[in-house]
Amino acid sequence: MDLFGHLFLGFGVVLSPENLLFCFVGALVGTLIGVLPGIGPAATVAMLLPATFYLPPISALIMLSGIYYGALYGGSTTSILLNLPGESASIVTCIDGYQMAKRGRAGAALAVAALGSFFAGTVCTLLIAIASPPLARLALSFGSAEYFMLMVFGLVGAVVLAQGSVIKAVGMVLLGLSLGLVGTDIYSGEERYTFGLTILSDGIGFVPIALGMFGMAEVIGNLERRQVKGDAIVKIGKLWPTMQEFREAWPAVLRGTALGAVLGVLPGGGALLSSFASYAAEKKLSKEPWRFGKGAIQGLAGPESANNAGAQTSFIPMLTLGIPSNGMMALLIGALIIQGIAPGPRMMTSQPELFWGIIASMWIGNLMLLVINLPLIGIWIQLLRVPYRLLFPCIVLLCAIGGFSLNNLTFEVGIIAVFGFFGYIVRKMGCEAAPLALGLILGPMMEENLRRTLLLSRGDPTVFIQRPISGVLLAATVALLLLIILPNVRKTREVAFRED
């Protein structure tokens, strides 16, 4: 009964004309950038962060979340029709989706992808609504020791499960944590690394760094290649899957949803990991593994459901604990902080409209996406014809204005330039921006909690073991670290991200 009361409250919030509009805008923009290769959801959300300053918090969050899952829908469209992933979580969709399209089943592939995503979105919205209150209640009993260990666990998990080199991810996290130190130390009032600049005494802004590392670095990276082009666009054909396709697809949708829902909650998890894991699982479970790569519908239905499920459930730690599990969630927490809302377990009780509104908006948004994507697919394909040479100068201008608008300071635009430069250089060295964003968001919170814990325990570090929840988290962190050292786990991890 409680659940329905909460969902009722949430739907009441979303169904206001204004919020419906922002939900639609988010879903639409998400689809748009999902279709366009060369601009990802993280860069878009970073670009729109300053604009959300002018919106009420709930509308801002509804719109930004819409961009995240909207991009997954849009990304699968280009994967299927052009063999071109519009977005990294759709890479595996290319494998079997495009093959299906080449056999004349493009319409069915699009329908299965959209319906599978919608199913996963519905299940996971319910899951978030059921799982969040007990988690938030548990988190309310957390002291600073538990919080600190939880953040350490989150960071370590994000590093272990992230794509690419572990050492580099650790380095980027440390760099993010160090950048988070800039500004006035809350305990002593001493200014750290401000070099006498008053502008820096509140710290380096998260938004300009995100705009530089995600937005500008991505633009520069795209300009390396002359032109992004996919294979020839295939005819869409009939939209409705056949009975046999339907029968083959639905168990994969169920498995993908379950797998994605679990992997999404883990730190470092989310859409990308879920889609890769689901493809590997479907291939292993199939009685006819040779069909994979030649247009097996399970290889499309599983990952498509999984990436949407993973995207949805990665909201759970963000909403209930205030801890981001991936780069995207770090950006959404940034949006909350801009609005002056402290993310954490108290959000559910102090801002119930916001909390339940976001959850309800996900279901509405998924429903909108189904409509946006299936009948309107032709329009999105047309968009691919906008040349990048005209698109990117506009992105640069929007980033510059966005950077300025946060505090009305031209200085922040300079910071975007510095981090765009730095972001591109570290990309070339194989380092990802997401771990840095996580470190930057968590750094100040971690320092505060660590110092408070040790102050309360009179400098006794065993407090982290003595408090049971903190001890369990510490053990889990150590276990994660040990896992990554084990050679066969390392191998599995590499395989999971490199699917042929």
Q: Which of 34, 64, 37 is nearest to 50 (CA)?
A: 64
In sequence order, which ranges of 322-410 are alpha helices (DSSP H)? 327-338, 347-350, 352-373, 377-383, 388-407
Dihedral sign computed on CA atoms, order 109, 234, 38, 499 = positive
Task: Pick one of 35, 388, 434, 463: the residue that binds another protein (CB under 8 A).
Answer: 388
Q: Which of 461, 464, 444, 439 is nearest to 146 (CA)?
A: 464
From CA 156, how far away is CA 158, in angstroms rounded? 5
Task: Pick one of 411, 469, 471, 476: the residue that binds another protein (CB under 8 A).
Answer: 411
- For residue 491, state whether it binds another protein (rule: CB under 8 A): no
- For residue 490, state whether it binds another protein (rule: CB under 8 A): no
- For residue 54, state whether it binds another protein (rule: CB under 8 A): yes
Task: Pick one of 101, 220, 234, 333: the residue that binds another protein (CB under 8 A).
Answer: 220
- For residue 103, state whether it binds another protein (rule: CB under 8 A): no
- x/- string (CB under 8 A) for another protein, residues 414-433? x-xxx-xx--xxx-xxxx--
From CA 228, how far away is CA 234, in angstroms rounded? 17
Q: Per DSSP, what are the bridge partners of residue 192?
A: 183
- For residue 178, state whether it binds another protein (rule: CB under 8 A): yes
- For residue 183, state whether it binds another protein (rule: CB under 8 A): no
Question: Does residue 67 sit in helix, strand or coil?
Answer: helix
- For residue 25, state whether it binds another protein (rule: CB under 8 A): no
Q: Which is nearer to another protein, 185 or 231 (CB)?
A: 185
Query: Least distance to another protein from the beta carbon of 414, Å?
Result: 4
Q: Which is nearer to another protein, 134 or 414 (CB)?
A: 414
Q: Which is nearer to another protein, 38 or 310 (CB)?
A: 38
- For residue 203, state whether it binds another protein (rule: CB under 8 A): no
Q: Which is nearer to another protein, 35 or 219 (CB)?
A: 219
Task: Pick one of 130, 134, 187, 199: the residue that binds another protein (CB under 8 A).
Answer: 187
From CA 235, how far away is CA 238, in angstroms rounded? 9
Q: Per DSSP, what are the bridge partners of residue 183?
A: 192
- For residue 406, state whether it binds another protein (rule: CB under 8 A): no
Q: Which of 171, 142, 68 is nearest to 322 (CA)?
A: 142
- For residue 390, state whether it binds another protein (rule: CB under 8 A): yes
Query: Least distance to another protein from the beta carbon of 341, Å?
Result: 22
Burial level of 233, CB count in 10 A (0-12/13-18/19+)? middle
The footprint of another protein on this chain (CB under 8 A) covers a number of residues equal to 66
Query: Least distance to another protein from the beta carbon of 71, Å?
Result: 23
Q: Which stretch binds another protein (CB under 8 A): 245-253, 327-335, 405-413, 484-492?
A: 405-413
Q: Which is nearer to another protein, 220 or 329 (CB)?
A: 220
Cβ contact 467:143 at 8 Å: yes
Cβ contact 269:306 at 8 Å: no
Q: Which is nearer to another protein, 68 or 419 (CB)?
A: 419
Task: Pick one of 381, 400, 476, 484: the residue that binds another protein (CB under 8 A).
Answer: 400
- For residue 386, state whether it binds another protein (rule: CB under 8 A): no
User: By CB under 8 A, what part of segment 442-471 binds another protein?
Assistant: 447, 450-451, 454-455, 458-459, 461
In the chain, the amino acid numbered 150 is L
Across 110-214, where does the E strand assignment appear? 183-184, 191-192
From CA 169, how far away is CA 162, in angstroms rounded? 8
Q: At 149, list the tokens.
A: 């260990």
Burial level of 256, CB count in 10 A (0-12/13-18/19+)? buried
259 CB-near residues (< 8 Å, 6+ apart) = 274, 277, 278, 281, 302, 306, 309
- For residue 193, state whether it binds another protein (rule: CB under 8 A): yes
Residues forming contacts to another protein in the complex (CB under 8 A) are 54, 165, 167-168, 170-171, 174-175, 177-178, 181, 185, 187-188, 190, 192-193, 195, 216, 219-221, 223-224, 226-227, 388-390, 392-394, 396-401, 404-405, 408, 410-414, 416-418, 420-421, 424-426, 428-431, 447, 450-451, 454-455, 458-459, 461
